[in-house]
Amino acid sequence: MAELIVSMAQMDVKLGNPRINWGKMQQMTTVAKAQGGQLVVFPELWDVGFALEQAKEFASSLSGGLFAQVAALSKQQGIFITGSMLEKRGLGITNSAPMVSPINGLMGAYRKIHLFPLLREDLYLTAGEATFTANLPWGVTSIAICYDLRFPELFRRYALEGAQVVVVPCQWPAERIGHFKTLLRARAIENGMYIVAVNRVGEDVLEEGEAPRRYSGHSMIVDPFGEVVLQAGNVEGVFTAQIDLSTADRARAAIPVLEGRRPDLYGSY
């Protein structure tokens, strides 16, 4: 099946409040299912936001806690779910995006490789050590998270692994939303793939006395030719569209960038 109905759950994440975020996440999953969504994508750290000083308190293992609740919700609603959360992994904490199937449960997780120094992720979290690509019912799908968008090598690797779509949970600030939009189209065009990026809305204050950090949404689905299929505004909501993943094959045949690479001169990716 080459077609996918994907829902972007653009939510306002309440900093350090998993109870409120979990309640809202359940509601938005129900809406996504009602809109016909086969996959619903939530923002980066939709569970608690960047409350990283409390990361050890909020994080849970991949097989328990909030991750287990998401798996149960996926099964109950009959919809695939992804979006990043804090994962307790050994002695460390990772920013992890699980891919949860309503039939098979947890199919694996992508742990953010590139930690964002401006939000001190590198002080509180452990960087991931592996990529994520899976052959799902609609096609080959990969996951990246927010700051990863600035590293084209990752997306090129996914393209070489056959990914037709990459989902990208984000908490991208309003002051750099222009970068966000440009990078999404660039990653789609240069690799001939769909990019589904879900950003949050709202604002929060990470430290007392600092100015609020604002997030302006504009979650987007970009097709393999760089055309915007769907763009949300700056409001909370669920936004759903159908995409044809065979478009990735057509884009790569039309402009065979992957075949024209010269890894002998600049490396594997």
Could you tell me which residues are beta bridge partners of residue 230? 221
Catalytic residue among 24, 33, 88, 112: 112
Catalytic residue among 44, 88, 121, 170: 44
Cα 128 from Cα 182, distance rounded (Å): 25
Q: Is 112 among the residues known to form the active site?
A: yes
Residue 221: alpha-carbon gap to chain centroid: 12
Q: Using an 8 Å Cβ cutoff, are 218 and 181 in contact? A: yes
Catalytic residue among 33, 87, 88, 146: 146
Q: Using an 8 Å Cβ cutoff, are 138 and 194 in contact? A: no
Q: Is 170 among the residues known to form the active site?
A: no
Q: Using an 8 Å Cβ cutoff, are 198 and 43 in contact? A: yes
Q: Which helix (H) or strand (E) holds 123?
A: helix 121-124
Q: Nearest 5 degrees, angle CA 212-CA 216-CA 222?
A: 150
Q: Using an 8 Å Cβ cutoff, are 191 and 159 in contact? A: yes
Cα 160 from Cα 142, distance rounded (Å): 11
221 burial type by CB count under 10 A (0-12 exposed, 13-18 middle, 19+ buried):
buried
Q: Which helix (H) or strand (E) holds 210?
A: none
Residue 61 — φ and ψ, nearest 5°? -75, 160
Q: Is 146 among the residues known to form the active site?
A: yes
Active site residues: 44, 112, 146
